[in-house]
Amino acid sequence: MRGAYVIVLTLDVSIKLNVGRNCWKLKSGTYAYIGSGMVNLEKRVLRHFSSSKKSHWHIDYLTQFARPLFAVLIPSDRRLEEEISLSFQKFFECIEGFGASDLKVPSNLYRIHDFKKFSEILHSFLDTVEK
C-alpha cells in the first residue's frame, strides 16, 4: 500500500533536539508528524514505532524522546503530505524546518493544543481524499 500518514506523539518533557545543523526547542505536549510511504506505507509507519532503528529522518531523532501513540494511514497513489500540512498549519503551531525538506511547506511537525480540532481537521481532510 502507498500513501500518507499522520503519527500522533507525546513528549513528556521539553527538549532541545539537534539534528545536523538544525536545532529545535520542543515543549512538552502532543505533536502530529505528517509523512509518506510511497513504496510501503505500513513498513514506513511501523519503523517509526520501533525503538531499535538507525536515525535517518528528523522523525527518527524525535522518537528517541517522544512516544508515538497512534498513526492514521491514508492510502493513496498521490503524495498528500503537503496538502495535509497546509490544513494543519492554519490551526496548529508549526515546528519550522522539521521534515518537509522536499516540500513547499515549512514543516511536517505540528504541536497539537486542541485534540478535538485536530480530529475535525483530519476528518475533513479524509473526506476530500479520493478513495
AA letter at 121:
I
pLDDT value of residue 130: 64
Kindly report, residue by residue over 51-83, the tens digit of the pLDDT: 888 888 899 999 999 999 999 999 999 999 999
- pTM (two decimals): 0.93
Residue linked to cell 505528517: 34
47: burial class by Cβ within 10 Å (0-12, 13-18, 19+)? middle
- Residue 110 main-chain phi, psi, to 5 deg: -135, 140
Position 40 pLDDT exceeds 90:
yes
C-alpha cell at 65: 524522546
Instruction: Report the distance separating Cα 70 and Cα 129, nearest Å.
Output: 20
pLDDT value of residue 7: 98
pLDDT value of residue 131: 52
Residue 130 CA: distances (Å) to CA of 4, 6, 20, 35, 55 = 13, 17, 37, 18, 33
What mean pLDDT is predicted for residues 40-55?
92
Where helices occur in the chain by DSSP H, the ranges are 41-49, 58-62, 81-89, 115-128
DSSP annotation of 92: S
pLDDT value of residue 15: 97
